[in-house]
Amino acid sequence: MEKIKNIAIIAHVDHGKTTLVDQLLKQSGSFRQNQQLTERIMDSMDLEREKGITIRAKNASFQYENYKINLIDTPGHADFGSEVERSLGMVDGVLLLVDAVEGPQAQTKFVLKKALTQNLSPLVLINKIDRANAQPIKVLDQIFELFLELEASDKQLDFPVLYVSAKEGIALKEWKKEISVEDKKNGFKPLFEAILTHIPSPTVSQDPAFKLLVANLDYSDYLGRIAIGKIFSGKIKVGSPLFSYQKSGKTSRGTVTAILGFKGLERIELSEASAGDIVGIAGLEEVYIGDTIADVEDTIPLPRIEVDPPTVRMRIVVNDSPLAGKEGKLLTARHIYGRLLKEVRTNVGLRVEETDVPGTFEISGRGTMQIAILVEQMRREGYELMVSRPEVIYKADSSGILFEPYELLSVDIPQECLGPVMEMLSKRGGNIRMMRNSQQRVFMETLIPTRGLIGFETEFVNLTRGEGYASHLFHEYGPKQGEIEIRSNGVLVSIAKGISTTYALENLQQRGILFIGPGEEIYEGMVVGEHKRPGDLLVNPCKAKHLTNIRSQGEGKAIGLEPPKIFRLEEAIEFISSEELVEVTPTKIRIRKKILDSNERKKAAIKVGS
């Protein structure tokens, strides 16, 4: 047990966690000399590689000077905070990674607060010191202020610091601008030594009975369900009896069929495992994250893993459009609900409920991206479904007053963008709490309702021309504000069914921004573009030019169509209004009205108005 170190790497998104893990594994000798490796080895999901972010927490392990070091790479995006919360229960210390340019961000504060609350030992790494505008000494002062703000103990305030370039594989005990040949030769040696010195070995119970707290779940076609977690007491062998204590009070039984340890990125089968180690155990059919697994019946379970509640919800609906079933294979309510339940078993940050409307399910999470990632995974697996606009989850007190979630939004923008950004924040219900000017940039902290952040990212990128930084974090529930109007323009809605024509689209592009090109299959009620003005406009994108034997004045002129706006899934979900849905299939993302028939929409609007 004294030769084991369990650590999690925590940071804000894009501060370099996965790159750091790559170098730790490479420099510890976890790979062969001639082994072909890709960048961001730990990003195993296609979506992680495409988006450049970590979505799921993952385990790895390496040996250094007879020590076994178990690593957990955690997500940095706020929407996946539940992955961080459950991972911290398995470790005894954390590597807090902070960008030497950006400094501590919103998610840095969130993950550090969770780590300090659990009394974990922090080792601070100031990363990207090789960047031209790095300011590690200033960032160190900001980190110390953050520790003070989070009421860290005296022991936690005396945190060790290393200056790191994860990309170059260099760690320094003291900051210096010029990196010597000796420093490059030592590589991560100072970091390995700091881990052995400052990260404590696991603290385990002296109870001889085996107990493991399930922090993650996996599945193998050969072994079945695999429960991953830290052993808090005792030891376990293959063939031993197993008992899983669930939240409902139910106990399921099984037998250990395999014990899996970690070596580098690979899993290896073990004959036994003991207290302090992080392992995977197969042999239980019914087991959930937060369960306690023991080898004896009638034992006291360990405290369950608790995560912050969801703040955003959306509805997932069975696809009933005229084009349903043409592009996907899995489209019934049974298929969709089964897939959602499967996801909830391994993702403690999501919740799924059936609704009173047949074929409609309500899914709640931390943010739009968390739910959008799930929908994107489903479409790649062959599902067809529809998604509603995100809504915040309100709470009411005993007197019936509604409270809504608020987020602390931090933005770093160019000086010339200050006016437009402040106007946007005001429109979205933001209340600026702090503003700090530097030479050419402005930093602001704003308290803003969560619903004011729906669609914020796209508008922010456009206003700052891609030169702004923004991060947000759940702050608290506060009194509900008035209505926030985010989309001021209407949409172009098709009243025809058929194939879109170049002739019709040439005329329509003068009315707004088109979402479709020529030759696409269209149905009534489908949204084909954004109107330039408020209010929806009914259009016919399938209109063909009437042929005559009379030569027209424009004969022979080339038709110039602007390229259509192609939405990513997250952008489409944030664009739609409460009267619209996003139709998601393996090959297409379409926007449509909930009620396809224009006359029926008018009747419904009159009914709501009355």
Which residues are part of a known binding site for GTP? 14-19, 127-130
- Pick from 76, 596, 575: nearest CA to 372: 575
- Pick from 538, 547, 546: nearest CA to 508: 538
- Under 8 Å between Cβ of 438 and 426: no
Q: How far apart are CA 214 and CA 285, in angstroms?
A: 14
- Under 8 Å between Cβ of 363 and 352: yes
CA torsion sign, 28 to 29 to 31 to 37?
Answer: positive
Give the 3-state secondary structure of residue 255. Answer: strand
Q: How far apart are CA 352 and CA 360, in angstroms?
A: 11
Compute CA distances 173 → 102, 181, 186, 437, 528, whole Å.
21, 15, 11, 32, 58
Q: How far apart are CA 610 and CA 606, in angstroms?
A: 6
- Under 8 Å between Cβ of 502 and 464: no
Instruction: State the DSSP code for 324.
Output: T
In one letter, which amino acid is 286? Answer: E
- Under 8 Å between Cβ of 408 and 435: no
Q: How far apart are CA 120 and CA 90, in angstroms?
A: 11
Q: How far apart are CA 378 and CA 383, in angstroms?
A: 5
Which residue positions form the known binding site? Answer: 14-19, 127-130
